[in-house]
Structure formats: C-alpha cells, structure tokens
C-alpha cells in the first residue's frame, strides 16, 4: 500500500474515532437548533453525560445502564434549558452559557471522587466480516460499539429530517415558525421536546469520552469539544451528513497533526488546533447573505441576533 | 387540559425585593444539597456531610467580610471580572452579543506583555509605562473585536459565534507564544514569559495585599455612567438599544453604533487582561484567566448592565472565587464550587424574575381565547 | 332565486371602543359567484372578513354556512368549515418545495408516494385553474405571484368552498393580475364562492358578479354587475355631499420648497412601488396626498425622508438635492417627518418623554429640574416627563412626536396620517398646528387615507394610485366623486385644476 497509504488509513481511522464525541454532540445540537433554540450549553451537556455515564459504569459495571444514565443526565439539563428558553423566553445565549457553567461546575464537583479511577469501558470491536476488508475495514470497522452507533445515527437522522413528517415539522418550526403555527403545529411543544431529546444525544458524546476514549476519569474531559461542536453545527449547515464529514474533519485535524509530526512534517500544532475555529468563521462569512440563508434552510431564529422580536 | 402561562398585569408591591430573595434562597438551598452530596461522595456520614456543606457555604460567602485578607483578595479577583463585564455591558446595551470577552482579555494581556518585554523594555518610569501598557491592552482587545465588528457591519453576520470562535483562536495563539518565541529562557522549561520589570508592575498598597490597578474598574464604571447619561454617544446607544427603527429615523447609523460598541467592549476586556498582567501575574502564562471572560457575561446579566451593579456583583463573585481558593487549600473543596454556585444563582434569579411575571393557570379544554 | 346561499352574514355588527366598525351588515354569497367587497379605508371590509374568518367575534348578528350555523368560529374552525382567506403576508417555508408546503401539518405519514400524488394534483389544479406552479420548486425561488398561487392552492387542497381574497393584486404585476382573475373565474365555475376585496374599480368590474359597497361600516348597496358602472359605484363609495364648504384662501404662491422629479422607489418585495412620480410643494402650502393605503404611500414617505433608497429620480429641498438614504442630511436641513407608525418608528418605548422629545438631538436632555416647555405648549398629559413613553396613550404619544418635530422650526413637514386614531381634541390641536406652520411658510405634504382630513387641511389634493399621481383636485367636497374615481384607478384629467 505504500507509506502514504498507510498514513492516510491510520489518519482516517483515528479521525473517525476522534470525531465520534463531536458527532454525537453535533447531531444532538442539530435537533435542538433546527427547532430554533440556540444551544450554547454543549460543553456542560457533554460533561454531565461523561460523569453520569462513568458513575453508572463505575457502580454497576453495566455499560447499557451507563449510556442510559448519561442520556438522562443530558435530558435533565436540556429540560432546564428548554424551560428557560421556550417557556420563560429568557435570552437563549445566557441560558446556554449558564448550562455550560452549571454542567462543568457540577461535574467538577461531583467528579472528584472518581478522579484517576477506571470503570467498565467500551473496547474496540472488530466487526467479523466487514472488518477484514482491506482498506475500508481498518478505517470504519475496527472501532467500539459507540462509534457504530454514532455512524448509524447519521443516516437515521438524515432520514428522519428529510423523509418523515416529524422531521418536516421540525424544519418548518425552525425556519418559519409562523407558517408552522398556522398549520396547527404546536411550536412550543416541538421546541421543548427536541431541546430535551437533542441534549440527551449530546450527552452521549461526553459519555463516549469517559467510557471509551479515555481510560481514567479526569477533570475537564471534554477539553473544549463542546465549543467545537457548536462551530461544527454551523459549519455543517445543520445537516447530518455534512456533520459527519465535518466531525471527521475536525476530529481528524488533531489526529492529522499527530501523524504528520510522526512522519516528520513540520506543522504547528497550534495552527492545527485553531483551524476548526477559523474555518467556521470563514464559513459564516460566506453563508451570511440572505440568499444563502434561505437556500440552506437555516433555522430562522439562529444566525439572526436575538434583538429581533419574535412571536415565540 | 393545558398549562397556560398568563402575563401578570401588575406585580405585587414588594416583588422587587421578595422575588430575588426567594431566588437566592432557592439557589443556596440547591447548592447546599449539591455540596453535601459531594461530601457524601467522599465517604462522609450524612450528618457530617450536611454540616460541612453548610460551613463551607457560609465561609465562602463571608470571605470578603471575614478578614482583610479575604477582603483584599476579593477586590483583586473583582478587577478583571468587573472590567470585562463593564465592557460587555456596553455591547449588550445595543444588543451586540459579544461572547468573546475571554479572547479579548487574552489579546490585551498579550499586547501588554509584548509592550513590557519586547517593545518598550527600557522604559523605567512607572507612570509612563503603566498607562502605556494599559493603552496597549485596550488596543489589543479592540483589535480582537475588529473582525466580528466588521463582519457584523458589512456582512450582517451574527457576532455570537464569531466572537466565540475567536476565543479559542486567542487561546491557541497564546499557547504558541508561551511555548515558543516568548518562552522564558530562564524559566526552567515551564511555559511562560519572563517577568515584567518593576516599572511594568502596579505598585501595591495595604501591605502588598492590593494592587493599585483596582481603581480602574471604579474609574471605568463612573466614566460609563457619565457617558451613558450625558454624552451624545451614550444617548445614541440607548436609542439604538431600545428601538433600532427609531434610531434610523433619528439619523443614527445602527450598524456603526453596534460595531463601535463591539470595539469598545473588546477594548475594555483587553484592558482587563493587561491589568491582570501588570497587577497580579507579572508575566504571561497559560491559563491565567480562570474563565473570567465567561463569568463576566453572567455578572453583566445579573447586574442588568448597570455599571454600579456590575461593581457590586463582580465584588461578590470575586469574593466567591477568593473564598473557593482558600476552601480548596484548607478544606479540600474543589474549585468547581464557584462556577456551580454562579450558574445556580443565574438560573434562580433569572427564573424567579421570569416566573414572577407570569401566573400559571389551567386552561380547560375547548376554551378558546377571546380575540379582540 | 331559490338557491341557497353558501354564506349568509346577517346583521353583523362589531363595536370597538369608540367606533362601530361594522353596523348591521347583511351579505350573501352564492356558489359559483364572485362577490366584490368595495369601500374606502376604514369602511369596515377588513373587520368584516376577520369576523368571517373567526379572528373576531361579532358584537351581534349571525353567520350561516349553507343554512346552518357553524357555532363560535375560530381560524382553525373556519378552515374546517371551508372558509379560506388569502392574506397579504404569506406563511410559507422558504426551503421547502411547493408540495411540501402544502402538505405541512398534515397528519398522515409522509412518504414518496403521497408526495408524488400531491405533486400531480398540484399540477392538475394548476393547469385546470390557470395557476401554474412547479410543485417541486423551492418556495424561496418563486416570484410573489407564484407564492400567492401556492397560498391559493393550499386553500383549494383543504377543500375551501369560500375563498376570501384581500387586495390580491396589490402585490402582482399586471400580467399576473390578469392570470389571477382568470383563475378566479375558473374556480367559481366549480361551485366555490369568492369574496374579492379591492378598491380598483376596473378589476372589480371585470371580475365580479355582484358588488357590495360599504361605507362607514354599513352596507350602502348591493348591485348586480349588469347594473353597475364606474359612476354609480363611485357615488356609492364616496356618498353624496353636495354642500360645498367655503374654500380655503389660496396660499401665497412662492418658490417650490420640495421638488420631486421622476421618482422610482422599490418596495420590500423588489417591485416598483412608486413609478415615475413628480410633485412640488410650495412654500406655505399644504399638499394633501389622497389614496387607498397600499398604493405606495409608505414607500414614498420613507424615500422622501431617506429611510428607503431611491431607484432613480431626484428629491430636492429649497434647491438642495437630498441624498438617497441619508436621514442625517434631512435632519440637518430641518425636514420633519411624522410617520404613520408612531410606536414602531418614531419613538423609543422605554425612554422617557423628555428623552423622546430630544430624540433627534445630539445630546441627551439636561437635568435641570425645569420641565420641557413643549409639554405645556402641546398640552401633553403626563404625570411626569420622566415617564417611559410606552405608557402614554396614543393621543399623547402623537403629541410628543408632533411637538418634537415642530419644535425644530422645520422647513418641510411630511405628515403621514397624523390624526389617525386620535380623539377629537387632539385631532383639532394637530390640525391647528399644521395650519399655523403653513402660515409661517413651512411646506407640508400631508398623506392621509381620510378624505375628510384632507378636505379640512389641504390647499391642493393630489391622488396617488399604484405609485403615480393620477391627478389633482381642489379641497372642495364637490370634487369628492372625481377624487374617488382617481383613487379607484380610473383615469381622470391629469394636471392641475383651478
């Protein structure tokens, strides 16, 4: 296969793995933001998901329970955000940031007892037949279960969004709530439910970090991935497939840096770290025109500052 | 059967007092249990957990008032918080949502460091150096707000995400500098710059417990108050913040006002960073800011963008930060206590205020709201 | 005729505080007919349709659909009962296709098959009624006319038998208007009934079977198309008022203060709202601009004041050319504007009365303990001048705005419906002030949809229709009919009348 080939394969494989927590976070955010609620609380959601999952795994050694627990934790925080933003109509930016603060605070507080300990983990599982395919096998099929779940969520969510009635209603609510309202769709209910659901999925991303990616519990496990996920959602235009590409790209950037260094290519690691954020700014600059907004189906209450007096 | 929230037409008389009181009680109540749970997690008996929790909370809150050490420490922590929050309030007033306080603070700190160590290392007179570095801090922060300001003015881009992204770019840029070109050769390999010269440090008072930079937030707060009430710029901002359509009607350029506000807000955050360099750290290191940029958002919001309120809230929050570090040292309470409490306070106060404006009613099925 | 009407509105009255918007209106709509609803602004057409559509409840009277009472109406219920309204604001999701927009909110499972079926039906209906639209096209790519078609198709899909179209051609090009009228004809042939609200007599006469004319909330008459012509209709709309009041003394003719030449202004949708408009306002003259609202008044006012860009043409004040979009320049040259939308545009709700009085000044008002003298002069009723303006009544708010605009000794005043919604006293005050300003030499352009106001105050009346000046008339009530014809789009003699 040659050196470049080996290089590429291992980078791609690492990228997928590294991008999984991001992917969960973005997919969850896509649901939330498509309903028109801005979600800046990703970092906090991921952290509580990580802690909840880890705690459950540590106590019960049951990974399924851990996952459920993580999602519940995310849903609870999401409930708080939904209450504030949808019911009480408080500024969504402030609420999201407060969620992040709360999430990271509680995680920091209650997580100390787990510092340095291990718990039941997800281990990479090579899928029997598929994993033996030469190139693709290494890239796609040698990961742990959660990665497959995330990858599987992508087409699921895509189908949901674009091919089902529920997905259509969701998109309508986010893009033109007046139109949805006039057709009898309960905008409040949609926003409320999807905020909770999306938050649960985001929390899974955190759980991945504590149950699969890392072997120990430590402070600040997410290391800013939540913020990258916010950028990613925008970058991907709230589309699941583009989110997968973006998550792999963003996740791969660090993997790339690592590998490049190993191969002797001088690349500033700092520049690499900045790249996701700079890319997002670039994308924003290009897609800010009204025309692209309409074309992309940007959720209407996002991308437009909250000074706009909305009916909802 | 649906739950319906109806707007109250009039608030009960003492609501402005009782509502925050209930909210505070709620926040502290929840914090009490959260902290107790933490202690329980440390294999403590229930009784001990609760009493330790109560004790910790009380000492946390009484830090600014329990000793001179606590008082001056709180003031020190207040300085960057207040400056950033004051800057943010300028932007938030005209609905320019600057989330980039953290990054702008970094840029101000970096600019001041650049000036102190590389541009003007030879300046030995403090009353030249200090204002000079403050100016560099202002410029650095404003520079970092320039891109979002331009994008908002010309491309109508939402500044929320742009400023947020720039936070991280600033962080990594700082990382790069501190591990690379600015690394202190005599620093034993630790990432960080050399120390500032004497002229670049704020002189201290009260027996070296407080640096003289602390008067800056007070100055800025008073300045902002005056400008907002009396100046043409302040008037314009208030009009834009209240009704942008009326602002256009009055011949005010809404875009320019917003962009200017972002720049000013960035400048003040930059000043906060510079002041931290000159007053506390005396050199540029990784992670010098414990999330001040984000906490400041909460401070500004809680204080309802009022400069004096900001001073008060940032003092209290600074006290919490101070208290947390001593608690950390002597009682093993993690530093995560403060952000948790702050978030709880925000939620309770905001939530309480919102709820008080509504009344909950059951809506019977079939009952249609009466139009017109 | 023995056939049963689709819709019967019997003795419908609706009272709002202070006005009887609808007074004992009786109306019938038969299947297969187009019923036109004609009337000036404020005649009660919109209120009546809102009642039909379930937005308001009538104060008295009843509605019967096919002889049966539908019970208490709400918009959802009205839709279920087969009543559909096409309004001026569309509610469509831009990134969805036409078919998806139509199926939005349907409870059935969405799948390929169903969507294809809907698309086919859209094409069928479109071809059948002459409302062609590509069912797969994304709505954001459609023109306004096409979007309107989608709204109509939406209603047809719900099986609406009674369609209400409120000034539908206001947003269309002449070609699209023709298409729409043809489509309406086809729709009624299928058995539905259409209520067509318009003020454009030409259209009304070309499409309707029967015409109901409203005035001051009452039905003036119901005529068959065969019995109607422009003259009778205008007479019914405007009423007979043969007593001419004494003419105002002619204003001192001087140099034109405001000169507008060949003005073209686009509206929000990108169509021309003002077409090649020219006018002059002399020193000391009050030029009244009559016209049914929606004919470009808002765009004209905004362009004159600088809140909207000009496509072509020129505006000059006292010989100085006013730059397109430059509000600040206008303020410097003391061009005052009293807009129709007081709350939304001309005031800051949370700022105090004092601050609003100084809104256009550079510096905020100084706190020197002395009350702003304008409050006395204009008898603004406030407890304290520090009150936030949002607590003021409509009348007091208008007084604040008028006081502010006039205190700067303006050279030109643009007043858009300045006494709309005000009580008698305040109306009198504002009218008096405008007259006094004119005497001082200020040039005033008074836009109003209330002819009475124009008769009372103007020295000349110009009529605006579809973005151009139809003609002029003196402020004499004997010219009512002529003005009415011009407002309805019927060509009058253009140019000045003595």
The shortest CB-CB distance from B340 to any of A93, A97, A109 is to: A109
Interface check for C15 against chain B (CB to CB < 8 A): the answer is: no
pLDDT at position A305 is 26
- What pLDDT digit, counting tens, does each position of B279-293 carry? 888 888 888 887 888
- What pLDDT digit, counting tens, does each position of C462-482 carry? 999 889 998 888 888 888 888
Interface check for C391 against chain B (CB to CB < 8 A): the answer is: no
Residues B300, B260 share a domain: yes
Please count the residue pairs, one from chain B and one from chain C, whose beta carbons lie less than 8 angstroms apart: 65
- The residue among C104, C139, C390 with the most chain A CBs within 10 A of its CB, best to mutate, is C104
Distance from CA of C102 to the nearest CA of A (A): 10
Per-residue pLDDT tens listing for chain A (312 residues): 567 777 777 778 888 888 899 999 999 999 999 998 988 999 999 999 999 999 888 888 888 889 999 999 999 999 999 998 888 888 888 899 999 999 989 998 888 878 777 777 777 766 666 666 666 666 677 678 888 899 999 999 999 998 888 999 999 988 888 888 878 788 888 999 999 999 999 999 999 988 888 777 877 788 778 888 988 888 888 899 999 998 988 888 767 766 676 766 667 778 888 888 888 888 888 877 665 665 655 666 553 322 222 332
Angle between helices A145-163 and A187-208 (to 10 degrees): 160
Residue C7 per-residue DSSP state? E
Which of the pair, B134 or C376, is modelled with greater confidence?
A: B134
CB contact under 8 A, A278 and B165: yes
- What is the separation, in whole angstroms, between the first and last Cα of chain C? 50
Task: Confirm whether B74 is domain-assigned.
Answer: no
Q: Are C35 and C213 in contact (CB under 8 A)?
A: no
Name every residue whose Cβ is closer than 8 Å to that of residue C441 and which is 6 or more positions away in sequence.
C254, C283, C284
Task: Confirm whether B331 is domain-assigned.
Answer: no
Residues B158, B302 share a domain: yes
Take residue C399 and report the two structure tokens written for it. 């007084």
CB contact under 8 A, B336 and A277: no
Interface check for A312 against chain C (CB to CB < 8 A): the answer is: no
- What pLDDT digit, counting tens, does each position of C399-442 carry? 889 888 888 789 999 999 888 777 777 788 888 888 888 888 88
| Chain A adjacent subunits, 3+ CB pairs under 8 A | B, C
Specify the CATH number for C256-487; select among 3.40.190.10, 3.40.50.1820, 3.90.1150.10, 3.40.50.300: 3.40.50.300
- The residue among B27, B163, B165 with the most chain A CBs within 10 A of its CB, best to mutate, is B165
Task: Confirm whether A302 is domain-assigned.
Answer: no
Mean pLDDT over residues C65-80, rounded? Answer: 82
CB contact under 8 A, B239 and C348: yes
| pTM higher than 0.90 | no
CB contact under 8 A, B235 and C363: yes
**Count of domains in chain A?**
1
pLDDT at position A301 is 52
Q: Are C99 and C119 in contact (CB under 8 A)?
A: yes
Percent of chain C with pLDDT over 70: 94
Please count the residue pairs, one from chain A and one from chain B, whose beta carbons lie less than 8 angstroms apart: 157
Interface check for A145 against chain B (CB to CB < 8 A): the answer is: no
Task: Confirm whether B101 is domain-assigned.
Answer: yes
The shortest CB-CB distance from B169 to any of A99, A110, A278 is to: A278
Take residue C51 and report the two structure tokens written for it. 């009642």
Least confident range of A282-296, C164-178, C326-340: A282-296
Mean pLDDT over residues C138-147, rounded? Answer: 86
Q: Are A69 and A53 in contact (CB under 8 A)?
A: yes
pLDDT at position A295 is 61
Nearest chain A residue to B161, by CA: A231
| Chain C adjacent subunits, 3+ CB pairs under 8 A | A, B
Interface check for B346 against chain A (CB to CB < 8 A): the answer is: yes
Nearest chain A residue to C109, by CA: A165
Nearest chain A residue to C113, by CA: A163
- The residue among A26, A218, A281 with the most chain B CBs within 10 A of its CB, best to mutate, is A281
Distance from CA of C446 to the nearest CA of A (A): 31
Task: Confirm whether B280 is domain-assigned.
Answer: yes
Interface check for A115 against chain B (CB to CB < 8 A): the answer is: no
Interface check for A308 against chain B (CB to CB < 8 A): the answer is: no
- Fold: same for C7-238 and C256-487: yes
Interface check for A87 against chain B (CB to CB < 8 A): the answer is: yes
pLDDT at position A127 is 63
CB contact under 8 A, A297 and C95: yes
Task: Confirm whether B52 is domain-assigned.
Answer: yes
Kindly indicate the confidence band of residue C8, based on its pLDDT and cuts at 50, 70 and 90: confident
The shortest CB-CB distance from C104 to any of A163, A179, A294 is to: A179
Task: Confirm whether A37 is domain-assigned.
Answer: yes
pLDDT at position A265 is 67
Distance from CA of A246 to the nearest CA of C (A): 22
Distance from CA of C379 to the nearest CA of B (A): 23
SS (H, E, C) C88-119: CCCCCCCCCEHHHHHHCCCCCCCCHHHHHHHH
Give the domain CATH number at B309: 1.10.3470
Give the domain CATH number at A273: 1.10.3470
Residues B154, B106 share a domain: yes
Q: Are C466 and C489 in contact (CB under 8 A)?
A: yes
Set of chain B residues whose Cβ sits within 8 Å of the Cβ of A105: 336-343
Task: Confirm whether A268 is domain-assigned.
Answer: yes
**The domain C7-238: what is its CATH number?**
3.40.50.300
Distance from CA of A144 to the nearest CA of B (A): 30
Cα gap B235→B251, rounded to integer Å: 13
CB contact under 8 A, A277 and B173: no
Interface check for B183 against chain C (CB to CB < 8 A): the answer is: no
Interface check for A59 against chain B (CB to CB < 8 A): the answer is: no
- Selection from B131, B101, B100, B127 nearest residue B115 by Cα: B131
Count of other CB atoms within 10 angstroms of residue C186? 12
Beta-bridge partners for C335:
C412
Which stretches within chain A are classed as H helix? 2-34, 42-60, 63-82, 92-111, 134-140, 145-163, 165-175, 177-182, 187-208, 225-235, 240-262, 269-286, 290-296
| Interface predicted TM-score of the whole assembly (ipTM), two decimals | 0.82
Cα gap A262→A260, rounded to integer Å: 5
Distance from CA of A131 to the nearest CA of B (A): 37
Interface check for A283 against chain B (CB to CB < 8 A): the answer is: no
Interface check for B234 against chain C (CB to CB < 8 A): the answer is: yes
Task: Confirm whether B330 is domain-assigned.
Answer: no
- The residue among B168, B255, B299, B353 with the most chain A CBs within 10 A of its CB, best to mutate, is B168
Residues B118, B60 share a domain: no
CB contact under 8 A, C110 and A295: no
Domain range for B8 is 1-66+336-372
**Segment 102-131 of chain C within 8 Å of chain A by CB:** 103-111
Q: Are C302 and C308 in contact (CB under 8 A)?
A: yes
Residues B103, B239 share a domain: yes
Per-block average pLDDT, block size 10, for chain B (372 residues)? 58 72 88 85 79 84 84 91 96 92 95 89 84 94 95 85 91 89 78 81 81 91 93 92 91 91 96 92 84 90 92 92 83 82 90 77 49 31
The shortest CB-CB distance from C140 to any of A163, A169, A294 is to: A294
pLDDT at position B221 is 96
**Count of domains in chain B?**
2
Look at residue C292 and tell me whether its pLDDT is greater than 70: yes
Name every residue whose Cβ is closer than 8 Å to that of residue A69 and which is 6 or more positions away in sequence.
A52, A53, A55, A56
Count of other CB atoms within 10 angstroms of residue B168? 22
């Amino acid at each position: 296969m040659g050196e470049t080939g080996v290089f590429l394969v291992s980078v791609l494989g690492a990228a997928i793995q590294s991008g999984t927590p991001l992917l969960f976070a973005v997919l969850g955010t896509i649901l939330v933001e498509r309903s028109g609620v801005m979600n800046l609380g990703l970092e906090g959601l991921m952290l509580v998901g990580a802690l909840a999952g880890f705690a459950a795994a540590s106590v019960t050694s049951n990974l399924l329970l851990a996952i459920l627990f993580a999602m519940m934790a995310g849903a609870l925080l999401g409930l708080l955000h939904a209450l504030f933003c949808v019911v009480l109509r408080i500024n969504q930016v402030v609420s999201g940031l407060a969620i992040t603060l709360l999430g990271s605070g509680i995680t920091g507080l209650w997580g100390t007892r787990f510092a340095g300990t291990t718990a039941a983990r997800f281990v990479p599982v090579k899928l029997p037949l598929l994993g033996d395919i030469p190139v693709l096998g290494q890239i796609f099929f040698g990961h742990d279960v959660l990665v497959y779940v995330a990858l599987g969520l992508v087409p699921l969510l895509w189908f949901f969004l674009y091919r089902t009635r529920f997905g259509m209603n969701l998109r309508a609510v986010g893009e033109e709530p007046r139109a949805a309202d006039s057709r009898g769709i309960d905008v409040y209910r949609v926003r409320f439910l999807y905020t909770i659901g999306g938050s649960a999925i985001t929390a899974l991303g955190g759980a991945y970090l504590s149950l699969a990616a890392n072997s120990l519990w430590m402070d600040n496990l997410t290391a800013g991935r939540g913020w990258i996920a916010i950028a990613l959602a925008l970058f991907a235009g709230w589309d699941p497939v583009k989110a997968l590409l973006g998550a792999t790209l963003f996740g791969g950037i660090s993997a790339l840096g690592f590998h490049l260094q190993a191969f002797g290519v001088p690349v500033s690691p700092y520049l690499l770290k900045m790249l996701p954020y700079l890319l997002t700014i670039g994308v924003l600059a290009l897609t800010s025109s009204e025309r692209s907004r309409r074309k992309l189906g940007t959720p209407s209450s996002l991308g437009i500052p909250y000074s706009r007096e909305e009916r909802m | 059967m649906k739950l319906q929230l109806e707007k109250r037409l009039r608030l009960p008389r003492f609501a402005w007092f009782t509502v925050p009181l209930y909210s505070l009680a709620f926040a502290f109540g929840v914090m009490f249990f959260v902290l107790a749970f933490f202690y329980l997690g440390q294999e403590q008996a229930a009784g001990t957990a609760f009493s330790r929790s109560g004790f910790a909370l009380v000492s946390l809150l009484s830090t600014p008032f329990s000793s001179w050490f606590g008082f001056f420490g709180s003031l020190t922590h207040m300085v960057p918080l207040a400056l950033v929050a004051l800057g943010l309030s300028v932007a938030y007033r005209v609905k320019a949502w600057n989330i980039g306080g953290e990054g702008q603070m970094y840029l101000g700190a970096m600019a001041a460091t650049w000036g102190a160590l590389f541009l003007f290392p030879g300046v030995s007179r403090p009353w030249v150096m200090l204002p000079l570095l403050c100016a560099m801090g202002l410029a650095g922060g404003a520079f970092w707000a320039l891109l979002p300001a331009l994008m908002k003015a010309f491309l109508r881009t939402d500044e929320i995400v742009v400023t947020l992204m720039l936070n991280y770019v600033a962080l990594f840029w700082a990382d790069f500098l501190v591990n690379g070109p600015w690394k202190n050769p005599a620093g034993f390999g630790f990432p960080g710059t050399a120390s500032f010269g004497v002229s670049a440090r704020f002189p201290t008072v009260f027996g070296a417990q407080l640096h003289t930079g602390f008067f800056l937030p007070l100055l800025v707060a008073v300045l902002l108050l005056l400008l907002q009430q009396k100046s043409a710029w302040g008037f314009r901002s208030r009009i834009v913040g209240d009704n942008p359509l009326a602002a256009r009607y009055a011949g005010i350029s809404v875009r320019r006002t917003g962009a200017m506000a972002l720049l000013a807000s960035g400048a003040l955050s930059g000043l906060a960073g510079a002041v931290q360099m000159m007053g506390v750290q005396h050199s540029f290191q990784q992670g010098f800011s414990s999330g001040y940029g984000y906490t400041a958002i909460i401070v500004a919001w809680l204080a309802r963008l009022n400069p004096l309120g900001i001073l008060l809230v940032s003092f209290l929050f600074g006290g919490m930060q101070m208290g947390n570090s001593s608690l950390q040292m002597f009682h093993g309470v993690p530093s995560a206590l403060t952000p948790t409490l702050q978030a709880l306070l925000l939620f309770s106060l905001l939530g309480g205020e919102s709820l008080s404006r509504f009344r909950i009613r059951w809506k019977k099925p079939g009952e249609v709201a009466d139009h017109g | 005729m023995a056939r049963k009407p689709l819709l019967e509105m019997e003795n419908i009255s609706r009272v709002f505080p202070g006005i009887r918007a609808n007074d004992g209106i009786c109306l019938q709509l038969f299947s297969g007919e187009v019923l036109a609803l004609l009337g000036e602004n404020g005649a009660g057409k919109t209120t009546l349709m809102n009642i039909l559509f379930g937005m308001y409840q009538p104060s008295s009277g009843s509605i019967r659909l096919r002889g049966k009472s539908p019970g208490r109406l709400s918009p959802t219920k009205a839709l279920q009962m087969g009543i559909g309204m096409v309004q001026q604001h569309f509610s469509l999701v831009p990134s969805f296709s036409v078919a998806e927009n139509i199926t939005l909110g349907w409870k059935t499972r969405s799948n390929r098959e169903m969507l294809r079926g809907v698309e086919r039906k859209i094409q069928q209906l479109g071809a059948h009624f002459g409302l062609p639209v590509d069912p797969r096209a994304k709505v954001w790519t459609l023109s306004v006319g096409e979007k309107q078609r989608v709204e109509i198709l939406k209603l047809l899909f719900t099986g609406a038998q009674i369609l209400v179209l409120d000034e539908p051609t206001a947003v269309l090009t002449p070609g699209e208007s023709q298409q729409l009228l043809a489509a309406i004809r086809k729709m009624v042939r299928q058995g539905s009934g259409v209520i067509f609200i318009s003020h454009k007599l030409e259209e009304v006469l070309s499409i309707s079977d029967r015409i109901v004319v409203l005035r001051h909330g009452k039905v003036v008459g119901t005529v068959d198309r065969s019995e109607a012509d422009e003259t009778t209709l205008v007479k019914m709309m405007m009423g007979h008022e043969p007593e001419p009041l004494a003419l105002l003394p002619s204003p001192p003719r001087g140099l034109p203060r405001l000169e507008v030449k060949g003005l073209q202004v686009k509206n929000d949708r990108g169509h021309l709202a003002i077409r090649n408009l020219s006018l002059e306002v002399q020193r000391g003259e009050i030029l009244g601009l009559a016209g049914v609202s929606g004919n470009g008044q808002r765009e004209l006012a905004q362009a004159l004041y600088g809140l909207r860009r000009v496509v072509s043409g020129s505006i000059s004040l006292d010989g100085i050319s006013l730059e397109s979009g430059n509000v600040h320049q206008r303020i410097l040259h003391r061009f005052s504007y009293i807009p129709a939308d007081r709350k939304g545009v001309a005031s800051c709700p949370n700022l105090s009365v004092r601050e609003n009085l100084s809104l256009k000044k550079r510096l905020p008002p100084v706190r020197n303990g002395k009350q702003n003298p304008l409050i006395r002069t204009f008898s603004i009723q406030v407890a304290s001048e520090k009150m936030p303006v949002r607590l003021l009544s409509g009348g007091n708010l208008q007084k604040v705005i008028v006081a502010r605009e006039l205190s700067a000794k303006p050279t030109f005043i643009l007043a858009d419906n300045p006494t709309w919604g005000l009580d008698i006293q305040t109306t009198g005050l504002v009218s008096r002030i405008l007259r006094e300003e004119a005497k001082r030499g200020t040039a005033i352009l008074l836009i109003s949809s209330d002819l009475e106001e124009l008769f009372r105050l103007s020295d000349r009346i110009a009529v605006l229709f579809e973005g151009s000046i139809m003609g002029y008339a003196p402020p004499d009530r004997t010219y009512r009919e002529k003005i009415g014809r011009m407002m309805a789009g019927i060509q009058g003699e253009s140019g000045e009348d003595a």
